[in-house]
């Protein structure tokens, strides 16, 4: 009789002798336990294989047959648009919203390893992951005895419990709140927008100014588009700017309405916020679309199975995604943008656009835009991958099987993808099908050439000046802060610590005179006169630090994939615990040479020649 323990926890099991094999499901523990393997380590060591295995399988979910029709056909919002392409299933935001995808990929690897073993008679699963338990119990129920040892679940946040009481109520509350917040801007600038003669349009985000709680169009353009708008102005190339207000943005004040109206009158380019196109008729269409989709999805959800080639029915992992994408808030937000785009760029009112450029993150509003753009027969649309293209960020990666379906399924896709350098271009190899990929200037990272950082000052006390940059992850923030406290308690004589928090997690940090909080500083200011930066695997600041040739250590959470933009860079240290961090600092073994040249990462040229030439080809 052969037995297997699947250990879904960060630590190590106490009892091991009673099992013939031990598989660590959650952490990359290099254990000395006999016959043990780490599933996350296997996935990371064979990352290309498992990423493609998942993408290939998941790309076929839209083709699952139900009552003679494919799933995507059952979820139609428009004659040539399925709600599937506006959902989390297609978006694949696995590093934030859909982190369960990592469990699915690990499970695929787990089953492969189980199948490699000789006869297994008994599986013991130690886990609190209800979806994992449900899937494994149904998988080999008739062949192998599966026992479940439940570990204690962490306490559920009260706020999260309240949010989950009624998705219907929560979604409608969001819509009412949204309408109230944008009410001052409804129909503001619409006439001027439709009278525009420009055939170039940008789709961009608005950024909040947290200090005075207003929204600034100029700073928004600079953050995402660098000096390109100024170059266009100097060449007398007029453009339209359609701004997307982030879901979490603050309400528009009446004072902002007047200042915004003044800017609309005094600008050569035409700017508008998409919420300006709201009206009673649009709101009515939004609700009709949403309730219609909810009805379809609720009928389908109890009859669906997502089965892999190994016989795993992975539906339990996707159940919540289904509810959110087709019956919940995500569905409502997608439909909200779809209806607004149908009004904003309606060719009956708005001049045909020869070129459109939007910020590419594969979010639901983008795919709504793509559908409407093609429906209205506008010309060339470029997806600008303005930030990082990370290996494990599945938003940017699609398998070739999916691209073969494009003509058959009316998947909304751009005509071209613009990347900001060689690194992003290399990451997208074999992930874009026949879509053209062009290397353009890295507009968001122009400051790397513009700003010259101050020469380090001589520290009188010779202390190592360290900055911890925290991110949105609550778990990683707590872990990083525990490292701060340990470092200070043990090495306060040789280190000086500063902390920059993420807005979402800043309240978790206890103010202490022993270290300085520098939340008000931007990344350029943070990096001045610093000896070492420590940040998490999710932080995009890691790339800013690296490109400024400042020593960098990345904190790796054992239970998550490595999402760092500097993943696999040879001169970056990754640590998973305090002891490893302490050893690096004590040995002063801090890697500080930039092995990957800047030009192999970003294409930075302040003249923006590639962008300007591309625009002039169409305008």
* pLDDT tens string 323-357: 999 999 999 999 999 999 999 999 899 999 999 99
Classify residue 469: in a domain, yes or no: yes
Looking at the structure of the chain, the number of domains it has is 2
Model confidence, pTM: 0.89
- Give the pLDDT score at 210: 42
Classify residue 113: in a domain, yes or no: yes
- Give the pLDDT score at 406: 55
**pLDDT band at residue 183, thresholds of 50, 70 and 90?**
confident
Classify residue 157: in a domain, yes or no: no
Classify residue 615: in a domain, yes or no: no
Domain end: 150, 179, 214, which one?
150
Domain end: 125, 150, 175, which one?
150
Domain residue limits at 553: 464-600
- What are φ and ψ of residue 158, in 5° steps? -60, -40
**pLDDT band at residue 214, thresholds of 50, 70 and 90?**
very low
- Give the pLDDT score at 481: 84
Classify residue 468: in a domain, yes or no: yes
Classify residue 42: in a domain, yes or no: yes
Cα 18 vs. chain centroid, distance in angstroms? 42
Q: Could you tell me what percent of the chain has a pLDDT over 90? A: 42
Taking a C-beta distance cutoff of 8 angstroms, is the pair 455, 530 a contact? no
CATH number at residue 553: 3.40.50.2000
Classify residue 195: in a domain, yes or no: no
Q: What is the pLDDT of residues 527-557, one digit of tens each?
A: 888 889 999 888 888 998 898 888 899 998 8
Classify residue 500: in a domain, yes or no: yes
**pLDDT band at residue 402, thresholds of 50, 70 and 90?**
low
Domain end: 150, 171, 187, which one?
150
Taking a C-beta distance cutoff of 8 angstroms, is the pair 2, 117 a contact? yes
Mean pLDDT of 420-435: 87
Tokens matching residue 255:
């004072």
E strand intervals along 198-252 = 200-205, 207-209, 214-216, 240-244
Round the average pLDDT of the chain to a whole number and report it. Answer: 84
SS3 readout for 458-506: CCCCCCEEEEEECCCCHHHHHHHHHHHHHHHHHHCCCEEEEEECCCCCH
Check pLDDT > 70 for residue 250: no
């Amino acid at each position: 009789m052969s037995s297997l323990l699947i250990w879904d926890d960060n630590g190590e099991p106490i009892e091991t002798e009673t099992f013939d094999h031990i598989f660590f499901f959650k952490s990359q523990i290099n254990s000395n336990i006999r016959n043990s393997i780490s599933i996350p380590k296997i996935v990371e060591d064979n990352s290309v294989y498992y990423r493609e295995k998942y993408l290939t399988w998941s790309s076929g979910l839209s083709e699952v047959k139900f009552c003679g029709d494919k799933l995507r056909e059952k979820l139609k919002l428009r004659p040539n648009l399925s709600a599937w392409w506006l959902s989390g299933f297609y978006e694949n935001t696995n590093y934030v919203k859909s982190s369960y995808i990592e469990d699915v990929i690990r499970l695929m690897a787990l089953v492969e390893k189980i199948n490699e073993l000789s006869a297994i008679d008994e599986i013991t699963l130690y886990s609190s992951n209800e979806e994992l338990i449900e899937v494994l119990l149904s998988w080999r129920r008739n062949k192998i005895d599966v026992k479940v040892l439940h570990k204690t679940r962490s306490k559920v946040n009260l706020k999260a419990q309240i949010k989950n009481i009624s998705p219907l109520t929560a979604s409608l509350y969001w819509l009412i709140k949204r309408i109230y917040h944008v009410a001052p801007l409804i129909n503001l600038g619409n006439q001027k927008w439709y009278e525009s003669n420009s055939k170039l349009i940008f789709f961009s985000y608005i950024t909040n100014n947290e200090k005075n709680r207003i929204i600034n169009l100029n700073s928004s353009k600079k953050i995402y588009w660098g000096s390109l708008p100024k170059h266009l102005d100097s060449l007398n190339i007029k453009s339209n700017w359609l701004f997307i207000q982030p879901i979490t943005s603050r309400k528009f004040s009446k004072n902002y309405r007047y200042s915004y109206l003044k800017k609309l009158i005094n600008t050569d380019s035409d700017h508008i916020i998409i919420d300006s196109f709201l009206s009673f008729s649009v709101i009515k269409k939004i609700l009709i679309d949403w309730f219609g989709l909810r009805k379809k999805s609720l009928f389908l959800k109890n009859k669906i199975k997502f089965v892999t080639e190994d016989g795993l029915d992975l539906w339990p992992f996707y159940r919540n995604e289904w509810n959110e994408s087709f019956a919940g808030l995500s569905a409502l937000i997608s439909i909200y943008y779809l209806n607004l785009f149908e009004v904003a760029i309606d060719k009956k009112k708005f001049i045909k656009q020869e070129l459109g450029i939007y910020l590419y993150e594969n979010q639901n509003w983008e795919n709504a835009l793509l559908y409407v753009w093609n429906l209205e027969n506008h010309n060339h649309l470029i997806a600008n991958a303005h930030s990082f293209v990370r290996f494990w960020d599945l938003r940017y990666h699609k398998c070739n099987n999916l691209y073969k379906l494009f003509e058959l399924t009316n998947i909304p896709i751009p005509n071209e993808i613009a990347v900001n350098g060689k690194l992003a271009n290399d990451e997208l190899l074999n992930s874009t099908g026949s879509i053209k990929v062009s290397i353009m200037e890295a507009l968001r990272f122009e400051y790397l050439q513009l700003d010259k950082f101050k020469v380090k000052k001589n520290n009188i006390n010779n202390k190592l000046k360290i900055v911890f940059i925290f991110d949105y992850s609550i778990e990683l923030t707590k872990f990083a802060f525990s490292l701060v406290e340990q470092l200070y308690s043990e090495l306060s004589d040789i280190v000086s610590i500063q902390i920059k928090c993420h807005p979402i997690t800043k309240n978790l940090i206890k103010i202490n005179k022993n270290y300085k909080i520098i939340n008000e500083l931007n990344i350029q200011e943070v990096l001045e006169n610093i000896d070492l930066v420590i940040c998490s695997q999710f932080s995009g600041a890691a790339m800013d630090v690296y490109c400024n040739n400042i020593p960098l250590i990345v904190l790796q959470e054992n239970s998550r994939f490595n999402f760092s933009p500097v993943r696999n860079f040879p001169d970056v240290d990754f640590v998973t615990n305090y002891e490893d961090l302490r050893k690096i600092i004590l040995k002063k073994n801090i890697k500080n040479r930039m092995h990957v040249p800047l030009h192999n990462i970003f294409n930075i040229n302040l003249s923006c020649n590639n962008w300007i030439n591309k625009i002039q080809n169409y305008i």
